[in-house]
Structure 1
Amino acid sequence: MERKELIRLEHVSKAFDGQTVLDDLNLVIHENEFVTLLGPSGCGKTTTLRIIGGFEKPDSGRVILDGRDITSLAPNKRPLNTVFQKYALFTHMDVAENIAFGLKIAGRDKAFIEDKIHYALKLVNLEGLEHRSVSSLSGGQQQRVAIARAIVNEPRILLLDEPLGALDLKLRQDMQYELIRLKNELGITFIYVTHDQEEALTMSDAIVVMNQGYIQQIGSPEDIYNEPENAFVADFIGDSNIIDGTMIRDRLVRILGQEFPCVDTGFGTEQPVDIVIRPEDVELTAAGEADGGLTGEVTDVIFKGVHYEMCVMAGGFEWLVHSTRMFGEGTRVRIGVDPFNIQIMNKPASEDEEAVSENDQIR
């Protein structure tokens, strides 16, 4: 079922002290969608979130909500709430008072507030802690209070600016599943900022990969991981072997001097291309004396629990390989790749083209 458009950013640009942070950004976010803005520090993701929230005003462009221009609308006039990385809880108030703060400001009556506090505590699994001081809570519990305070106001949109960054790994993973559950139960549109690829892949309906103020790619977690549109996305999302190659003709590519069948077409003949092969898609076999193809030597082996991580020097390139089958250091191996697991991409013609995504940016 097609989701209704909720927010549209049109030709949004923003600079700070003469440094462009967002450059003609266009983006559509749909109702009841979990959208993650993903990218390295300085890519513009937090600025995008702050512009949606009304905390920053774009230098040019518009923010449209339900067809209405809200570019100049104050944050408290927008149907949204924000959860920050540092939570911004009131330490002189207990849990219930923190959750009720926005409702009291809105002039809600006592019975309504008490009902909403109970509802919110149940949603975030903090029942029985309403009278606890927030300073006595663990980091995960404080984060749940911050989310409860945000959702109790029934916003249409919840903005989350790296809210899990201060938590340890296990707690962060637990909270990822909690956020997915909350989104499904509440029907709220979540807009989430992170530089953590695992968080983005785990939680999102759609991922917006950003770099240098531009959108590089928009897609589902599966599309972003399996079909990266350029070398930046491939390198940023998970581990990748990114190799210079030559497209000999449709469905045939030359990699490090060896020909490999692939499934890609439309790149021309004898054209330079970028090739992406994920470590888990590299197939290793023991190399015999008479073997042809691309052969090399295992230079490093690390046991990762569910697989072995190996480095293989072959064709003058150091391949990263993930496999449940271990080949010891110094072993001669042959490299194979299924044609469907070879991702071909056009080489950018310039640094500007490398920074700018070729996709339409508006879904």
Structure 2
Amino acid sequence: MSSSLIELDHISKSFDGDLILDDLCLSVKPNTFVTLLGPSGCGKTTTLRIIGGFERPDSGRVIFEGQDITSLPANKRRLNTVFQKYSLFPHMTIAENIAFGLTIRKMPRSYIEDKIKYALKLVNLQGFENRSIDSLSGGQQQRIAIARAIVNEPKLLLLDEPLGALDRKLREDMQYELIRLKNELGITFIYVTHDQEEAMTMSDTVVVMNQGYIQQMGSPEQIYNEPENAFVADFIGESNIVPGLMIRDELVEIFGAKFACVDRGFGSNKPVDVVIRPEDVELVRPEDGTLRGIVTHRIFKGDNYEMEVTTPDGFEWLVHSTKKYELDDRVGIRVDPYNIQIMNKPESEDEQAASLLKEEAEKLV
């Protein structure tokens, strides 16, 4: 029997002839915080709506606790959804809003009252039962939307960019509140956002999506430190992505200079892409650097200086450093071998076609 709470089995979905999800497979274990992360139009909200029962896939299955729920209506699924627009009822009190789902289910009055008090305590809004929705701040309304969801005791809570309308400080506060609720309640969270920092802060697992595909799935640390392709490296944080030549195991050439690294198995004299994070670029005296360059741009960011260092080949290296350098300073660039990430270059169309033909041939053997 599967250990997953929910599985998406080869899900595809199109709208007006545009393919939004293409043969997507995803497995989510119980009591985890999973974030679907990607740019607008990547398919993350469509994925969430298919899980919630608000959309039907063109093909594939949604499996919940081992049961196929693909055709099950949204109101019959043991999950709840919190949207960016909280959809609270302005003519109802806070207590009535929270109790809405329980009232529809005709639960006993005493049970409903206990659940309201419990939910308000969880979201730190005790004593707000009789207040109106209009009297609440955006963050408080968001908490009420979550309280309304959790009183129904869902095994899975879906959140579609619920913090998008909040200011930065309130967003950060609510991120920690969501982590606390997940840990206290033991509910599985699937969260949709395009905010990389939000995803990295809250998640056990980050699913990076683009153009209807899962580009990479793993812990925040894995996604950030070991991106599997240039899209992930560029989308998650800031990166220097440069062409390189893998001379042999643990040695890569970048713009004619040889850098020690720790990667193996890429072959000899093979073109690769190299990812180096801005905070991993160490600026030293020109004679001590593996590459040399000139500081051509500098911004003070509060906890560090963001600089661009242009090397003779014309590449502009993005550098984050706590040490201040002046414009036109000549510097050396050095990188610790463990901070160099090697990736295979994307296949050309010819290579992709050859690879597909090989796969098809192998199926016929």
TM-score with structure 2 setting the length = 0.94
Code of the aligned partner of 1:47? T
Q: Is 1:62 matched with 2:61?
A: yes
Q: How does 1:6-85 map to 2 (within 5 A)?
A: 6-85=5-84
C-alpha distance after superposition, 1:156-183 (max 9, x if no partner) = 0000000000000000000000000000
Aligned residue for 1:299? 296
Q: How far apart in 2 are the matches of 1:4 and 1:26?
A: 15
- 1:261 paired residue number: 260
Q: Kindly provide the amino acid, as one letter, of the partner of residue 182 in structure 2.
A: K
SS, match of residue 5 in structure 1: coil
CA shift at 1:292, angstroms? 6.5
CA distance in 2, matches of 1:353, 1:117: 60
1:273 offset after TM fit, Å?
0.6
Q: Assess if the C-alpha contact under 8 Å between 2:241 and 2:275 holds in 1.
A: yes
Give me the whole-angstrom Cα distance separating, in 2, the residues matched to 1:248 and 1:270.
4
Q: Quote how far apart the aligned CAs of 1:352 are.
A: 11
Query: 1:306 & 1:329 partners in 2: Cα distance?
Result: 19
Alpha-carbon distance, 1:320 to partner:
0.6
CA distance in 2, matches of 1:50, 1:226: 30
Aligned-pair RMSD on alpha carbons?
1.4
**Which residue number in structure 2 is paired with residue 252 of structure 1?**
251
Q: Distance in 2 between matches of 1:319 and 1:241?
A: 6
Could you tell me which runs of 5 or more consecutive residues in structure 2 were left unpaired when the two chains were aligned.
353-365
| 1:357 aligned residue | none
Gaps of 5+ in 1: 355-363
C-alpha displacement of 1:353: 9.3
> What is the alpha-carbon distance in structure 1 between the residues aligned to residue 267 and residue 56 of structure 2?
44
Summarize deviations over 1:222-250 as a string: whole Å, max 9, x none.
Answer: 00000000000000000100111111111
Going from structure 1 to structure 2, the CA distance change for 1:131 and 1:196 (only over 3 Å counts) comes to same
Q: Secondary structure at the match of 2:265?
A: coil
Q: Which secondary structure state, in structure 2, belongs to the residue aligned with residue 192 of structure 1?
A: strand
Separation (CA, whole Å) in 2 of partners of 1:164 and 1:222: 23
Could you say what secondary structure the match of 1:164 adopts? coil
Question: Quick check: 304-313 or 144-153, which moved more?
Answer: 304-313
Listed as ranges, the matches of 1:1-363 within 5 Å are: 4-288=3-287, 293-314=290-311, 315-350=313-348
Q: Is the 8 A contact 2:259 2:290 kept in 1?
A: no
Q: Which residue identity is paired with 1:322?
A: H
Between the aligned partners of 1:166 and 1:4, the Cα distance in structure 2 is 35
Which secondary structure does the structure 1 equivalent of 2:26 belong to?
strand
Secondary structure (helix, strand or coil) at the match of 1:327 reads: coil
Structure 1 equivalent of residue 360 of structure 2: none
1: CA distance between counterparts of 2:197 and 2:18?
30
- 1-structure distance, mates of 2:289, 2:258: 11
Return the offset for 1:270: 1.1
Q: Distance in 2 between matches of 1:163 and 1:120?
A: 18
**1:254, distance to aligned residue in structure 2 (A):** 0.7
Q: Distance in 2 between matches of 1:286 and 1:350?
A: 39
Question: Structure 1 residues 299-308 or 78-87, which shifts more?
Answer: 299-308
Distance 2:113 2:226 in 1: 49
1:302 Cα offset (Å): 1.2
Q: Is the 8 A contact 2:159 2:190 kept in 1?
A: yes
One-letter amino acid matched to 1:25: L
Deviates more, 1:197-206 or 1:301-310: 301-310
Compute the TM-score of the two structures, normalised by the length of structure 1: 0.94
Once the 2 structures are TM-superposed, how far is the Cα of residue 325 of structure 1 from its aligned partner? 1.1
Aligned mates of 1:176, 1:26 — CA distance in 2: 27
Instruction: Please give the alpha-carbon distance, in whole angstroms, between the structure 2 residues aligned to 1:206 and 1:293.
Output: 36
CA positional deviation for 1:113: 0.6
Other structure's SS at 2:99 match: helix
Distance in 2 (alpha carbons) for counterparts of 1:69 and 1:131? 41
Partner Cα separation in structure 2 for residue 71 and residue 292 of structure 1: 58
SS at match of 1:125: coil
Deviates more, 1:56-65 or 1:297-306: 297-306
SS in 2 for 1:234: helix
In 2, Cα distance between the equivalents of 1:70 and 1:256? 54
Segment of structure 1 superposing worse, 252-261 or 209-218:
252-261
Q: Which moved more, 1:344-353 or 1:60-69?
A: 344-353
Question: What is the alpha-carbon distance in structure 2 between the residues aligned to residue 161 and residue 275 of structure 1?
Answer: 34
Q: Quickly say closer, same or farther: Cα 1:327–1:287, change in 2 above 3 A.
A: same
Partner Cα separation in structure 2 for residue 232 and residue 352 of structure 1: 21
Partner of 1:200, secondary structure, is helix
Q: Select between 311-320 and 226-235 the one with higher mean Cα deviation.
A: 311-320
